[in-house]
Each structure stands twice: as structure tokens, then as C-alpha cells.
A and B are shown apart, each in its own frame.
Chain A
Amino acid sequence: MSQDTLFDKVWDLHKVSNLPGGSDQIFIGLHLIHEVTSPQAFGALKDKKLKVKFPDRTVATVDHIVPTDNQSRPFKDNLAEQMIETLEKNCLEHKIRFFNIGSGNQGIVHVVAPELGLTQPGMTIACGDSHTSTHGAFGSIAFGIGTSQVRDVLATQTLAMNKLKVRQIWCDNKLSKGVYAKDLVLHIINKLGVKAGVGFAYEFAGPAIDELSMEERMTICNMSIEGGARCGYINPDEKTFSYIKNKLYAPKNEHWDRALRWWDSLKSDENSIYDDVIKLDASKVEPTVTWGITPGQSISINQQIPLLDELSPNDKLVAEEAYEYMSFKPGQLIKDTPVDVCFIGSCTNGRISDLRVAAKVLKGKKVSKNVKAFAVPGSEKVATKAKQEGLDQIFKDSGFQWREPGCSMCLAMNSDKLIGNQVSASSSNRNFKGRQGSSSGRTLLMSPAMVAAAAINGKVSDVREFIN
């Protein structure tokens, strides 16, 4: 059993009681909600005649269903309009802080909370969304929950949970040029498998992780869930602290100094004990692309789609399903696969640094005429910053559509969808069957820089050929 890791310290600090069944009752320091997984939870509160216990500790925004073309109200989609109205009404009734469209602070919930300084080291953070693991980049313990658990957090600010085991993933050396955090996390998921993280929290550590910016660290922790780990985290350091400093909800003045001292004490101890440790060499990671229907089915840009015989018995069943769904042949190269749609955005890669790196590739170039490409900033703040830097113009000049913030084509709950069996080069997090809105649509996950390269060439390309 793990001891003295950040996970152990934060878990123990938030433990309220041992529940009769043997699980722990854990206090949730920050609860984030959005329009898709909260309405039924508020409905259940009403049925049970319960109030929101600590309304100040829940923060809401709207992201999944918002259109990214025309955001004027009422939305054209009646169901989407009904969902935003329900969230508005629930937040008003329960006095919950809500960052609505046009507030300047709306966006994808996992982009918004860090940029407002709400996400801080040592907190427990829950949200009805599996990518809540993103917030672990700050040394918080953050995990996705379902709607019944959203109800429990609203009513009690606590959850019944079993403590997770802790696996340290030690990343030696550093990423080479043209290789990004997205490539590293896809590589990790491929090596460990999509279910290796079940029952675990992942601690990402080592020189390659230390080297990453906060936004890159968020990309890594974001996709912990794709490796099966509900929670992923990184020990906080100077980069963490300087990212938070002066953010809207960051501790101020004398509170800042107290916060710093406490945050600094949370790191996993040098002699801490892990349930498992995995080591890998980050310098060996190459630009990585998924070829299949799970985020674990990825290869380096110059590799061939694996043959059935090269796979372990457990991976064969899904590989066969993937060849058929993707219409790819075993042994085929992934490079030069034609793409129809290019999407840059999502809670994985919709931050300002992602847009900057993609714009650098796109500058002075044109998107292939066979490709529909669009960029969706992760939040209103990201969009504003991008405009100040002129990035929106670079995207538009290249032939990208520049959209309003939201989850968009990551899960296609709005009108941004694939059509038929289109192939999408996507900076999002899931390549599941039907994920991007068409039941035969095909998704290739990659870094935003790689999406930009694919958009220019109209086919899967090695971004390193663009940046040298």
C-alpha cells in the first residue's frame, strides 16, 4: 500500500469518516458542474428535499452542448437551449457561481477552473466528467464522477469512495523537438494499456515531466482516464505556483505565503512508497497517432499498423474490431492516410499554448482543399488571448474556421460532427467508435501540431518536417 505520496497526504487530509461498508467518506474541496451531468442531480435533490450544503464550493460553466458558430440565444437546438436554461435556473436557485457564455470566463470546465486559479494543489476536486483528472496537473486529487455522485457532493460535499493505489510513471530525459505532451501520454497509454490504471491513481514524475509547462502537464493528466486511471497527478513545483499566482481566485497577499508553504509540503516524500513504479525514456517518444478505436491503439508516425500476430492475446479482439471499423489493413503505414476533417480544441489540447504551436505550423501555409479544418479555443479567455496575439488571423488565413469556445467535436454534442465515415485528425482525447458524431466516423488522435500538419498536407504527416 502506498505511503507518504501526495495522493496519500491529500486523501488522508480529506477523510471525513470510515463508512460502515468499509469505504471512506471523502470531503470534496472543489466541485465543478456543467449542463450535461448536473440536471438529474438537482432533480434528485428536489425529490429528497435536500439543499446544496456548501454552494460556494461548487462552480458551474456550460461547455458540452454550446454551439461554436452562432451562440445567440435561444440556441437553434431546442434541447441544447433547454439544458442551458436548466443549468441557469439551478445555479440561480441554489446560489451557485455560474460562468455563462459572454461572462469572459466561460469555457470547457477543465480549461476554465485552472485559468481562474480555482484549481489549486492539495484540493480534492470532483466533476461529472471523466476528464476531471486534468486538474491533477496542479497536485490536486481530481476525478470524474457520475450524476448520483454529483447529487451526493451537492447535498453533502462528500463522496463514498475506496482509496486508490498509486502507480508512479517515471519519465526520464526529455521530449525531443516536434514531440509534445500529447505524444508522451499516448505513448504511455499504449505501453501500459487502456485498463492498466483501473484502481490506480497515476503519479507522473521525472525529468521529462518537470520540464513540461503547466498546460502540457494538464494534457498528460487529462488523459490518465484513457489509461484507465480515474485520477492522475503531478507534484507541484515553482511552475505550478507561478501559474496560479495572480489568477482571479488565487490566494492573495499574506494568504499567498501561507498557501505556498502548505503547497510545498504536499509533494510525495523522497522515501514514499508506491504500489507500482514504471519507468520510461521520454527521449525515445516520437510523434504518435492512434490508428484504432481505443486511445491505446497508437503508433509512431513512421510505424506500420500492427499485425495481429504482433499483439498480445488480450489486444487481438479489439484490434480485429479496429481494422474493420477503421478500414485499415494490418501492416499499413499510418503516414499519408488521407484526412477529411481537422479539429484543434478540447480539454486535452484547447489551451493557448496548443493554439500557438499549431499556428506556428500553419503560418504562411494553406489548408488542403480536401480538408474541413476548424479551431475551437478552450475558453473565452483562451479566445481573447489568441486574438490579442493574432493567432485567430493565422488560423483564418490558412483556411481554418475560427470558432467560439466549447467541447465541440471532441464528443459532438453540438452541430460539429463528422459525416459518414470521414476521417478526422483530432487533438481531442477519444477515438471510440462514433465518438465524433457519426456512427461510422473515424478519429485519429494526435498533437495539435500534428493536426495542423495534417490539415496542410490533407493527410497524416510528420510535423517535424514542418518545423525544421
Chain B
Amino acid sequence: MKSEFTPPIGKISNMNGNCISLIGNDIDTDRIIPARFLKCVNFDSLGESVFEDDRKTLKGKHPFDLEENKYASILVVNSNFGCGSSREHAPQALMRWGIKAIIGESFADIFYSNCIAIGIPCFTLPKKSIEEIQNYCDNQSLFLEIDLKNSSAQSQDLNFNLEIKESSRKMFLSGEWDATSTLLDNENLIENKFNQLPYIKFNTNIL
């Protein structure tokens, strides 16, 4: 049994775990969590439905069903991962399955911001390095230790300098990825901005 899910809170500076490799470009959020599972008013039960249709099609051979990946927490993907729908249900489902960080060739914009907003760091590596990890994972398990302070990933055999947007890295280290309170710190500035915007004044019938 996996341990009970607890969402990340506060500063995130390092993580470690086994890698789970998922090969494919342009894997969209409909595939990560099909739309029928969006009929919910909370995210609690999404973990079990992650990649539901792909898993059914592969009849137990999908990486998320393989016994050796059961406790994996670092997802390794190819390019444009998470494209399509803005549904935060996608990273929520991955997180509730057990994913704590993602390393990929590239990510879709909205998926990336959703991951940051819920505390999943997304790192990029060149195609060659991703393939090196994925080939390694084909034959044996890869336990990676990720340190956000110097953006490094280390294992017994492989070491990588991970790339991550500097603003995202800082937000994880400071805990500001959970943005609401940081944004609210500027309450006066928000009020000022509201009062300055030209269209607030001429849209009198909205307010």
C-alpha cells in the first residue's frame, strides 16, 4: 500500500525517489486524466484514474501499472508534456498517484504553471539526457536525489544538471509557489491598480 497522500506545503528544496519513465511526445492532459473524471467537486480520488484509458489499452503494461514503478515518484517524460486542456486535475492526479517531480524535454505552458501552483517542480533536460535516463530505466531502477538549491540530480551512476526557470526555483525554495498569501501582501497595490485601469471607469454598468 502506498502511504496516504499529503499535499506539499512550505519550502521545497529537495526530493528523492525512483524514476518512472513514460515515453511519448505531446502527451495531452485528456490522456493524463480523461474528461469523465472531471465530474467532481474535489481532487481526492483522481490518483487512481491517472492515464485510465491508456492503461486500459495497454492491459497492465503501462508504466503506471508495472510493479517495479509502484513507489516511483519522479516522472521522466519527453517533449510538450501536458499539452491541451488547462485542467489542473491532470497534475493533481499525477501528484495523488505519487509523483513529486517531473523531468522532461519540455512542458506545455498551462500544465507547467499548474504544477508550480501545486508544488510539483518540473525540470528540463536535453533530449539526449532524457533518452539516457529512459534507456537506463528500461533495464534497472533509477533512484534520483534532486537538490533544487543547485538544480542537480544525482544517482549512483548518473548525474545531471537540471534546468528550471529561475523564478520557479526561487518560489519552491522560499515556499512562495503557494502564491495566494504573497499576492495578498500587495493588497494596497492591487487596489491602486484597480483604480488606475481605464476600463474600470467606463464600464460603469458592470460595477
Contacts and interface: CB of A to CB of B under 8 A. Distances in A.
Interface of A: 13-14, 16-17, 19-23, 25, 27, 29, 36-37, 39-40, 43, 48, 50, 53-54, 56-57, 64-65, 77, 79-80, 82-83, 86, 118, 120, 122-123, 128-130, 132, 143-149, 151-152, 155-162, 194-195, 198-199, 225, 228-230, 249, 251-252, 255-256, 258-259, 262, 294, 314, 317-318, 321, 411-413, 430, 432-435, 437, 439-440
A149 B113 contact: yes
Contact of B42 (A39, A155, A255, A433): A39
B86 A144 contact: yes
Contacts of B113: 145-146, 149, 161
A409 to B, nearest CB: 11
Contacts of B30: 411, 430, 432-435
Contact of B86 (A37, A40, A251): A37
A195 B39 contact: no
B79 interface: yes
Max chain B CB contacts within 10 Å: which of A20, A65, A321? Answer: A20
A162 B167 CA distance: 8
B2 interface: no
A432 B35 contact: no
Contacts of B171: 21, 23, 160
Contacts of A53: 190
B190 A318 contact: no
B117 A25 contact: no
B110 A160 contact: no
Interface of B: 24-26, 28, 30-31, 34-36, 38-43, 53-54, 56-57, 78-80, 83-89, 91, 106-110, 113-114, 117-118, 165-168, 170-171, 174, 176, 179-180, 182-184, 186-187, 189-190, 193-194, 197-207
A37 B83 contact: no
A27 B80 contact: no
Contacts of A294: 26, 28, 83
B7 to A, nearest CB: 11
| Best-buried of A147, A148, A159 by chain B (most CB within 10 Å) | A148
A14 B197 contact: yes
A27 B26 contact: no
A437 B41 contact: no
A120 B78 CA distance: 38
Contact of B117 (A54, A123, A149): A149
Contact of A255 (B54, B117, B193, B203): B203
B41 A194 contact: no
Contacts of A433: 30-31, 53-54
Contacts of A262: 198-199, 202
A314 B114 contact: no
Given A317-B24, A432-B30, A433-B30, A155 B35 contact: no
Contacts of A228: 80, 83, 108-109
A225 B111 CA distance: 12
Contacts of A149: 113-114, 117
B194 A157 contact: yes
A413 B39 contact: yes
Contacts of A195: 26, 79-80, 83, 106, 108
Contacts of A148: 88, 114, 117-118, 179
B35 A56 contact: no
A80 B190 contact: no
A261 to B, nearest CB: 9
Contacts of A80: 39
A149 to B, nearest CB: 6
Contacts of B167: 19, 21-23, 162
Contacts of A144: 86, 110
Nearest to B52: A439
Contact of A17 (B43, B83, B176, B186): B186
A117 to B, nearest CB: 9
5 contacts: A21-B167, A130-B86, A157-B194, A195-B83, A259-B199
B35 A412 contact: yes
A191 B135 CA distance: 31
A256 to B, nearest CB: 8
A273 B204 CA distance: 35
Contacts of B197: 13-14, 27, 29
Q: Which of B40, B87, B114 has the most CB of A within 10 A?
A: B87
B35 A411 contact: yes
A123 B85 CA distance: 23
Contact of B170 (A22, A65, A411): A22
Given A40-B42, A229-B109, 10 more contacts: A19-B176, A56-B207, A152-B180, A159-B183, A255-B204, A259-B199, A317-B24, A413-B38, A434-B31, A439-B56
A155 B184 contact: yes
Nearest to B36: A413
Given A16-B186, A25-B186, A122 B25 contact: no
Contacts of B41: 39-40, 43, 82-83, 86
Contacts of A19: 167, 176, 182-183
Contact of B85 (A54, A130, A199): A130
B171 to A, nearest CB: 4
Contacts of A79: 39-40
A64 B53 CA distance: 20
Contacts of B198: 122, 258, 262
A437 B36 contact: yes
Contact of A156 (B26, B86, B106, B183): B183
A149 B170 CA distance: 18
B206 A54 contact: no
B174 A20 contact: yes
